[in-house]
Amino acid sequence: MKIEQERHGDSLWQQFIDALSDEFIKQTGVGIYAYITPADLSGVYEEFQQNQMPIHNFTHNYVRSFV
């Protein structure tokens, strides 16, 4: 995970991880890594960056795809 933070190197990465983790807990009762591997998380972040949605909307919709 530290390598991913260094690669992305911005606070938006941390905000995204926090929001996604909170949303997984809220909707499923378990944390993010029950569904997503750390390696896949980078791809989800890139998908978020290409999307024009606010973090909360993206994470809410993304987690709903697992529920």
Give dist(CA 30, CA 23) in Å, integer: 10
Give dist(CA 62, CA 5) in Å, integer: 21
Q: What is the pLDDT of residues 32-67, one digit of tens each?
A: 999 999 889 999 999 999 998 999 999 999 999 977
- Assess whether pLDDT exceeds 70 at residue 7: no
Half-sphere exposure of residue 27: CA atoms within 13 angstroms, side-chain side: 19
Q: At what angle do helices 11-28 and 38-50 cross, to 10 degrees?
A: 110
pLDDT score of 3: 47
pLDDT score of 57: 97
pTM for this one?
Answer: 0.81
